[in-house]
Copies of this chain bind each other. A is one copy, B any other.
Amino acid sequence: MGKGRLEAFSDGVLAVAITIMVLDLKVPHDTSVAALVALWPVFLSYLLSFVYVGIYWNNHHHMLHATQHVTGGVLWANLHLLFWLSLIPFTTGWMGENHFAPLPTALYGGVLLMSAIAYWLLQQCIIAVNGAQSTLARAIGSDWKGKLSPLAYIAGIGLAFVSPWLSCALYGGMALIWLVPDRRIERRMVADA
């Protein structure tokens, strides 16, 4: 089965998700500097979520690139991932509009956690289909980023009730770690070619 439409549909959902998040940046009714400055928490949470959706798109791109076979199970694991990512606009809006209050900040981390788990499940599912000797399986290797992320999000959820800013620092720090492109897959593909 071809992976073209799987990529196209995922691109569509992620492109819409990333773009409708900007609707939470509601146009202020007056034109003062103060009205603009008051938007900073919404803007900050938009920026963080844009980076996260970008990271998921980027890693998804790499992962599918190294995939040869797609099955019905992979399609559903992919939809499961898209479900959690589709909730990011909601948690982004709730966290931003409430100036990083504890519960919204914890829920934001909760959706990041579920997305990370869903991504891991999709990865396992693709490896199961393509074999432990596939390019992807060997490229993933120890996958320390994939293992660290859920721990960081769980810590962030707990810390949100102590200091939401520590949670945000954790979420942002984890994003920075992911921003370094996943060269494992690129390198492995070159090595296998």
Contact = CB atoms under 8 A, between A and B. Distances in A.
B27 A24 contact: yes
Copies in the complex: 4
A158 interface: no
A54 B31 contact: no
A103 B36 contact: yes
Interface size class of A (residues with CB under 8 A): 35 or more
A103 B61 contact: no
A82 B18 CA distance: 10
Interface string A56-88: 011001000100000111011001001100110
A83 to B, nearest CB: 6
Interface stretch (A1-9, A121-129, A138-146, A169-177): A1-9
Contacts of A93: 27
A15 interface: yes
A16 B12 contact: yes
Interface string A34-72: 001000000000010010001001100100010000011
Contacts of A104: 31
Contacts of A86: 18-19, 22, 50
Interface of A: 1-2, 5-9, 11-20, 22-25, 27-33, 36, 47, 50, 54, 57-58, 61, 65, 71-73, 75-76, 79, 82-83, 86-87, 89-90, 93-94, 97-98, 101-104, 107, 179, 181-183, 186
